[in-house]
Amino acid sequence: MKKRNRIKKKEEFQELIHQGKKKVNPSFVFYYQKKMEEQARMGISIPKKIGHAVQRNLYKRQIRMMLEGMIPFENYPYDVVLIVRFAYPTKNFEENQKLLERTLIKDII
């Protein structure tokens, strides 16, 4: 996931969370709305209650790798904020990847 496809500012996260639609599964909470710029953007948030900073950074890297080949950001119609839930560390990489793919591609579109 390229840096231009990331949501970084707190205001953008809050705007998407308050104005966007919500989709929930055991490992993730998704807030999404129609994209505001020419390319779709993605923001990843992990609560401080989930592990130490090193673990949270690992989870963010894993999620970015899952998204790398999954979403064509030029054609994807939504900006998405992805919040990791407490069930994420209990599942393995493949299970989390299937949940992410099913929700982003099948349920949201």
More confident: 99 or 72:
99
Helix 53-68 to helix 93-101 angle (10° resolution) is 50
Looking at residues 52-79, what average pLDDT do you find? 86
pLDDT of residue 109: 63
pLDDT digits (tens, 9 = 90+) for 2-23: 777 888 899 989 999 999 899 9
Going through 1-109 in order, the beta strands assigned E by DSSP cover 21-24, 28-34, 42-45, 78-84
Tell me the C-alpha distance between 96 and 33, whole Å: 22
Rounded (5°) CA angle 9-68-88: 75
Looking at residues 82-108, what average pLDDT do you find? 89
Judged against a pLDDT cut of 70, whether residue 78 lies above it is answered with: yes
Domains of the chain: 10-104 (3.30.230.10)
Judged against a pLDDT cut of 80, whether residue 69 lies above it is answered with: no
